[in-house]
Amino acid sequence: MFGTSVRPRLSVYRSNEHIYAQLVDDMEGHTLTSASSLADDVEGETPTEESRSVGELLAERAEDAGIDKAVFDRGGYKYQGRVRALAEGARDGGLQL
């Protein structure tokens, strides 16, 4: 999986309590934007709801950076639960995966 500045890689890291997502340009080795459940803007009573909110926040930040497409890198995690909620939140926020 490889990301460019036109279509960066959406990288996901999931810990026991939090979830982190970043858009990475692998050609330059730079993170273009990021979001995590540690942010004050993130709302949700359950970890899945928080993950969805992180996806929406990331999509909003991506739009501000002029990014509308990304390649989803689930990082070896199964596409279920918090990872799926993050991807759906990003899609709902307008990011094309």
Of residues 79, 94, 96, the one with CA closest to residue 12: 79
Looking at per-residue pLDDT, the higher value among 8 and 5 belongs to 8
pLDDT at 66: 92
**Identity of residue 55:** G
pLDDT at 65: 92
pLDDT tens figures, 31-83: 999 999 998 888 889 999 999 999 999 999 999 999 999 999 998 999 999 99
CATH topology of domain 9-92: Nucleotidyltransferase; domain 5 (3.30.420)
Residue 16 CA: distances (Å) to CA of 36, 84, 89? 13, 16, 20
- What are the extents of the domains in the chain? 9-92
* Residue 66 near residue 40 (C-beta atoms within 8 A): no
Tokens (6 digits) for 94: 């307008």
The model carries a pTM of 0.91
pLDDT at 41: 82
